[in-house]
Amino acid sequence: KIEKIVNATANVTVFVACPNITINKTASSYSLSTVGGSVTYYYNVTNTGNVPLSNV
């Protein structure tokens, strides 16, 4: 009886999806010293993850 001993190794790289966004909100420097004054807001949205995003 002949026995075979087989040793094998394999390397695998696994991609882990990490969706993420960063949102920064700033306001205009307009003074609100008057009643009814308006403020303009600005949003900066950045994809900081490692996959494309949609429907954000």
Contact indicator for 21, 56 with CB cutoff of 8 Å? yes
5 vs 36, higher pLDDT: 5
Give the residue with greater pLDDT, 23 vs 55: 23
33 pLDDT tier (thresholds 50, 70, 90): low
34 belongs to a structural domain: yes
Length of the chain: 56
Give the 3-state secondary structure of residue 47: strand
Residue 44: give the domain boundaries: 24-49
Locate tokens 């882990």: which residue?
A: 16
In this model, does residue 36 exceed pLDDT 80?
no
Please state the rounded mean pLDDT for residues 10-35.
Answer: 88
Q: Tell whether 2 is covered by a domain.
A: no
Q: How many domains does the chain have?
A: 1
Paired strand residues for 24: 44
Q: Are 45 and 56 in contact (CB under 8 A)?
A: yes
